Amino acid sequence: MSIEPGKTIVGFVGLGVMGQSMAGHILNAGYELHVYNRTKSKAEKITSKGAVWEDTVVELTTKCNVIITIVGFPADVENVYLGDKGILNHATKGTIVIDMTTSSPDLAENIYEKAKEKGIDSLDAPVSGGDLGAQNASLSIMVGGDRKTFDKAFPLFEVMGKNIVLQGKSGSGQHTKMANQIAIAAGLVAVCESLAYAKKAGLDPETVLKSIGKGAAESWSLNNLGPRMIAQNVEPGFYIKHFIKDMNIAAASSTRLGLKTPGLDLTLSLYKRMADMGFENNGTQALFKLFE
């Protein structure tokens, strides 16, 4: 099966902060797109542009050649794929399923094996880049699974991202995303501390950012989330509750691998404090509030 507009019917499950834009790029590329989301109102924008709403995951599954999911938590992934009304119990042989949720590597491997038994091809393909990356179709896409399936799915990945890498066997995409989240975690704390220091020293944080944002301290978090911190903007590009979920998965995976992660552990504890303070539905940049 070749994937191309006019021949491939794509199903997309999960129209959140990132999924909405990702699905939109697929629709704009000319693919017939069927969508499902737990909250139907979130689909109104994309259905007004030509996407077809489906009332259930089962209905979507039976009509599509390729199914992409980006939902909230591993439990949601498990339900949408392995539940009685899940994708793998209703997809036809030869269907390609792509989970782009940040989820458990072990679950990704389990889905791959269950899919293989049914003649269904499975990829785990979590993404990085936040709401801006999704909007600009510049996401980094980390993929685990078979090379032949990756090659088939590549045209779809290309309409959503720029840095698209097959990392290895099933689960490898999720392991790579854990490495990504571990790198981001301590970096977010550092950005907060840096801007808090600049403010305490009587400097203008925006002017400071012009210097350090182009030097050795340059990072995506500094240059994209730093301005939001300065502007006191806590709107979610990526929810705190989802980052806590990611860090919990990374911490559990690290423990299984026998790896100590003190930077990750500190960041996780700080974000749990944020959640306890009622900020779990705000963006990750809201961490700066602990440093004010």
For residue 270, the surrounding DSSP H or E stretch is helix 262-276
CATH 1.10.1040.10 residue ranges of the chain are 184-291
| Residue of 45, 85, 152, 177 marked catalytic | 177
Q: pTM of the full predicted structure?
A: 0.93
Banded model confidence at residue 130, pLDDT cuts 50, 70, 90: confident
Q: What is the structure's pLDDT at 2?
A: 85
Residue 105: pLDDT over 90: yes
Class of 184-291 per CATH? mainly alpha
The mean pLDDT value for 107-134 works out to 96
Give strand ranges (E) for 59-199. Answer: 66-69, 96-99, 121-124, 127-128, 139-144, 161-168
pLDDT digits (tens, 9 = 90+) for 21-56: 999 999 999 999 999 999 999 999 999 999 999 999
The mean pLDDT value for 110-133 works out to 96
CATH 3.40.50.720 residue ranges of the chain are 9-170
> Does domain 9-170 match CATH 3.40.228.10?
no
pLDDT digits (tens, 9 = 90+) for 206-255: 999 999 999 999 999 999 999 999 999 999 988 999 999 999 999 999 99
177 labelled catalytic = yes
pLDDT digits (tens, 9 = 90+) for 152-202: 999 999 999 999 999 999 999 999 999 999 999 999 999 999 999 999 999
Give the three-class secondary structure for 141: strand
